[in-house]
Amino acid sequence: MKLNKSTELVRLRIALLIGASLVVCFIGASLSLLPSNMYELYLFDKLFIQVPIFALVAAFSFWRHFSQYKAYIFFLSLLVLSFSNYWLIWVCWTEFGFVFPYEGTILYAFFCVFALGIPFTLAFIANALSLIGFIWLMWLAPIYGDRVVISSAFVAGSLFVCAYAKYRLDRTLSMLKESNERLLKLSKFDPLTDLLNRRALRERCAKLLAISKRHNVAMAVLMLDLDDFKKYNDSFGHQQGDEAIKVQASIMKATFKRDTDIIGRYGGEEFIVVLSDITPQQVNEHCQTLLDKWREVNMRHAEGAKHPIMSCSIGAVYAENVSKTSIDTLIDEADAALYQAKTKGKACFELSNI
């Protein structure tokens, strides 16, 4: 299920509220362990640096360009939170000789990467900078004594797991998105021609008809059929027959370029074009263009075909008033006009008005 932006922002603000609440919980727990002479320093770091970070990001979420820059905002927030923790560890050691735990740095990394959704590249950079900062801190002062090496290894391992897990998650989501897009395309488009398939064609046509009725504009439906296609298939094989179908699709794409033009494969060698806000003269011109383009292709037809080169027949219907008609009616009328074009000798078009 795809979430809209407002829902995503609400969930993000909830995550930020949870993050700030966790910091407050840590304050209560930590004060019971810290010496009283360190309360001022500790509260300054938590209440005037870390909690405001969450509040500031929450405020930024109301900015209209927030979605565009949120990954960078979260990235900077993670760095500020991490290095404020290092500052607290450093001051606690240098001024009070107190060994402050470093696990908060790892927690902030996991929270920002997974709860706030920092993408892998920025997560990797932030965690790498955080690790460099921790190693630098350990180099300046042996805060954890003989546990410096194991502490550094633990921080490095945790940050690596965080970044790698994010990589795997982003990659899986990317593959899932690509698969969904392919499935969506397969459900709407004909794989051979990349035109709308029959089901998607009818759905789009129904929407265009509703719009045409609302704005009181004319519509036209063209039905195209490759002439003597069975003979072509029998003579040259199905692979070459597929090429002929692709040529028909290419001709249609080159002819109908408006955003409102609907073109699709109706089935086999049959195609449909649905046009809105158009005149009878334009319909005639489009039909003639289709026939002319086939002549330019000059694809040799099978022996026994009506014409020596591949061609198509076109049945078209023009409806100036569509208020009382339906897509089925228009398709049926176009099909009847196509039958007349076939009867006339193929490689031609027939236009009817309703």
49-108 confidence digits (pLDDT tens): 998 999 999 999 999 899 899 999 999 999 999 999 999 999 999 999 999 988 888 999
pLDDT in tens, 205-258: 999 999 999 999 999 999 999 999 999 999 999 999 999 999 999 999 999 999
Provide the 10 A C-beta neighbour count for residue 251.
Answer: 21
C-alpha distances in Å from residue 337, one per residue of 307, 314, 348:
20, 8, 11
- DSSP one-letter string for 159-210: HHHHHHHHHHHHHHHHHHHHHHHHHHHHHHB-TTT-SB-HHHHHHHHHHHHH
Answer yes or no: is pLDDT of 109 > 90: yes
Could you give the percent of the chain with pLDDT greater than 90? 79
Answer yes or no: is pLDDT of 5 > 80: no
- Could you tell me the pLDDT band of residue 26, with boundaries at 50, 70 and 90? confident
The pLDDT of residue 1: 45
Q: How far apart are CA 33 and CA 238, in angstroms?
A: 81
The pLDDT of residue 3: 54
Answer yes or no: is pLDDT of 319 > 80: yes
Average confidence (pLDDT) over 142-170: 93
Q: Do the strands 270-276 and 349-353 form a parallel or antiparallel pair, or are they unpaired?
A: unpaired
Whole-structure pTM value:
0.66
Answer yes or no: is pLDDT of 118 > 70: yes
Q: How far apart are CA 35 and CA 98, in angstroms?
A: 9
| pLDDT, the chain, mean | 92
Range in 32-36, 194-198, 301-305 with the lowest mean pLDDT: 32-36
Tokens of 104: 């908060």
Range in 4-8, 44-48, 127-131, 350-354 with the lowest mean pLDDT: 4-8
C-alpha distances in Å from residue 33, one per residue of 22, 30, 101:
17, 5, 11
Distance between start and end Cα atoms, the chain: 43
Tokens of 267: 């089935």
Tokens of 102: 């470093």
